Structure 1
Amino acid sequence: MWLAADAGQSNILGMIWPFVLMFAVFYFLLIRPQQKKQKQRSSMLNQLKKGDKISTIGGLHGTVVELSDDTVVLRVNDTTKMTFERSAINTIINSAPSATVDLEK
């Protein structure tokens, strides 16, 4: 009687292990890298500041003039300003120099 119960449990465990292994591979190859990319993108968008030169997902290049929580105003040339969603920013090309204090003076 004990042998039959042990055989049934090992059979169930033998059937579950491939699914556990597939889930682990799926997690480490697909889910985890995507979460890492999303975290890096969120960090990049939070570090955005006035004067940064950026590229949008549509390929438009411009300089950040104004920022709000979910929109960005870009200066494309001397006369043109365009408003975009913050999520439309693809990359920061050149970050604006931050104001530093010269302590040697």
Structure 2
Amino acid sequence: MFSILATESASSAGWISMVVWLVILFAFMYFFMVRPQKKEQQKKNSMLAELAVGDTILTTSGFYGTVIDIADDTVIVEFGSNKNCRIPMQKAAISAVEKPEEAAE
């Protein structure tokens, strides 16, 4: 009788320790993987929300340009000194924005 109770308590202790390790694993994944990714996404969304005509941008493909017009999810960008090179692109393709005031400093 005593050996059956000892086996059951050892088995339940094993389950409890496994659950504790799983909770620790999920907490680790949240604080080191999910949370930084959410912060980065919020930062990019605020950058795109503050986008204005005249800003200099860097695209994800590495091109620098100046914003000419902004629609819902589309931005018309002028590349280089040639005024005829205006290309519509998605806002999601913008990786960095530099305001004209920042460029002057």
**Structure 2-normalised TM-score?**
0.80
Question: Counterpart in 2 of 1:73?
Answer: 76
Structure 1 runs of 4+ aligned residues shifted over 3 Å read 8-11
Q: Percent identity, please.
A: 34
Return the alpha-carbon distance in structure 2 between the equivalents of residues 22 and 80 of structure 1.
51
**Structure 1-normalised TM-score?**
0.80
Q: Secondary structure at the match of 1:59?
A: coil
CA RMSD of aligned residues (A): 2.1
Whether 1:33 and 2:36 are equivalent positions in the alignment is yes
Q: CA deviation at 1:70?
A: 0.4
Whether 1:47 and 2:79 are equivalent positions in the alignment is no
Question: Counterpart in 1 of 2:23?
Answer: 20
- Structure 2 alignment gaps of length 5 or more: none
Question: Counterpart in 2 of 1:89?
Answer: 94
- Structure 1 alignment gaps of length 5 or more: 98-105
Task: Give the partner amino acid of 1:12.
Answer: W
Q: Secondary structure at the match of 2:54?
A: coil
Equivalent pairs counted in the alignment come to 95
Q: CA deviation at 1:12?
A: 2.3
